[in-house]
Amino acid sequence: MSAQTTSGREFWLTFGKNSNRTYNEVNLQIRVVGGNVDTHVKIEFTESITLDDEFDVLSQQVYTYSLTLSQKQAVYNEIADKSNKSIHVISDYAVTVYAVNLVGYTTDATNILPVTALGTDYYQISYTHNFAVDAYAVIATENDTKIYHDGSEVETLNAGQVYYYTSSIDMTGAHITSDKSVAFFALNRSARIPAGFDAADCLYQQLAPVHTWGYNFFVPVSHLTKERVRIVASENGTYVTQIGSTIGFPSYTLNAGQWVELEVRLENKGCFIQSDKPIGVCAYLTGCGYNGIGNSDPSQAWLPAIEQTVPNALIAPFISAGSVINQHYAIVMTPFDTKDDTRVSIGGGAAAPLSGGYGWYDNSDADMSFYHLPLTNSDDSYYFTNDAGLIVLCYGVGPAESYYYLAYSSMRNLSAAFSANGVPYTEMADTLFCVNEITFTTNISNIAEVDSMKWYKQKTSGNTPDLDYILITDIVEDPPVEWTRTFRAGNYMIKLEVYHNGDLEPLVYEGELCVGAHITIYPTPNDGGMTKPTTGCYKVGTQLPMEAYPY
């Protein structure tokens, strides 16, 4: 079982108004990148089923879907209101999904998060608007979802409905919460970055929930030489330090919703940011009138914490139909010591070291490196690997135009007290583990002083379930980050007790662990023939299909 990433099988997305353009003036595009197997994909419009469509995506290939005029009208938010302007993407197997909101000289793109990476706690991260307005959109994934803005209830949505909110001021730091999981998009109609410099572009970026925020961030820089960064705190008294910014202070203390802005430059080889409580970070390309290059414009990318690296990443650049964008790049970030182990496979071809870019930039403060790789094959996927972990951002530039977005990372729940094979303890019950060796990882960084930890298990299925919890391990000194144990197929309750700060009563965390049984099914003979047996992974207690019982 692998950790949650930005790929998945189910997604929700919407589009915000781009500058002052109406739906019939924009080009709205969805890019779907196939995973390890061929898959069938459906796109469903909440506004009307008559607009729905479906298609096949081949393994590690790219499918570009451009919305028709009617489809654009059904998903393009122009007026602040509750609506049905959303798209539901469903795939048989895991894919990576991106979307672009494009019109000449004002464009931005975003990755689309799978529903398994969504949450209930978000902060708006945007920028000072130009002549238009700041905005965000919330999409409900379940019926009767209540939405709150800075603690006040503002709307109730059913699955697929959108709450599109606009403001005449920069809403960075606004706290948006819900009682059920939602998708959240930052949708600034037009911004100059920094304020007062040419030119203006829309901002379009799906933001990650607070439970995925981290503590250590490495900010790379594009070949445009200098960018802006915004940092938002999720808790009061958050202490933030940074090394490498050319504006701002070395450290800040922020309360929940407060934010600071930094500038990072290529000459400093990026910026290293740390905090003692979870923070959210967005990076921005600047206007062509500011960076001195002549290309690019404002655009926004979500930046995951270093804790969210993955061993492989599958991405694709955009096809810039109707745009002046003519250069596309991936920024690949990975630990410095193992940067030369990074490989890329283009369109399913042989893996090779990165080449053809600007070379590696090494940041000794973060112990991280980054590489600008030109994406010259617009119809092909790019598959990056590095066992030590990597994060990939993508950007594209042209005269007075650009896009910037997170291309691939993990979306682990970093607020969970522990996880099993990367799955947070709060989500273990919904996960079938098809391996017997389970690695438990603790995340107790918010506790000032851990005295000891005790782990327990209780078997809850089979012929002889446990009546009481059984102590697995009692760790008194130097609690480890992780430990591994082999489990037989079955259902278990796992409990972690954390004794801290000299308290006699521990903090208690419990989660259900479901380890699957590997069973071979032998189909019954059919008209004198016999199909091949297949082996499946099943939860203990599952009623197997009839063909599992041969005669």
Token pair in block for residue 284: 């921005």
State what percent of residues in the chain have pLDDT above 90: 65
**For range 152-167, the mean pLDDT:** 98
Token pair in block for residue 145: 């979802």
CA–CA gap between residue 425 and residue 318 (Å, rounded): 37
* Close Cβ partners of 511 (under 8 Å, ≥ 6 residues apart): 418, 420, 425, 426, 428, 429, 493, 494
- What per-residue confidence (pLDDT) applies to 190? 94
CA–CA gap between residue 344 and residue 208 (Å, rounded): 26
Q: What angle do CA 282, 288, 292 make, to 5 degrees?
A: 105
pLDDT in tens, 279-337: 999 999 999 888 877 788 999 999 999 989 999 999 988 766 667 888 999 999 999 99
Confidence of residue 476 (pLDDT cuts 50, 70, 90): low
Please give the model's pTM, rounded to 2 decimal places: 0.84
Pick the CATH number of 418-515 from 3.30.2390, 2.60.40, 3.40.50, 3.30.1490: 2.60.40
Token pair in block for residue 277: 């409580």
Torsion angle defined by CA atoms of residues 245, 125, 110 and 163, in that order, rounded to the nearest 10 degrees? 180
Helix (H, G, I), strand (E, B) or coil at 420: strand
State what percent of residues in the chain have pLDDT above 70: 91
CA–CA gap between residue 146 and residue 124 (Å, rounded): 17
pLDDT in tens, 338-392: 999 999 999 889 999 999 888 999 999 999 999 999 999 888 899 999 999 999 9
pLDDT in tens, 83-116: 999 999 999 999 999 999 998 888 999 999 999 8
| In the chain, where the domains are located | 8-408, 418-515, 518-548
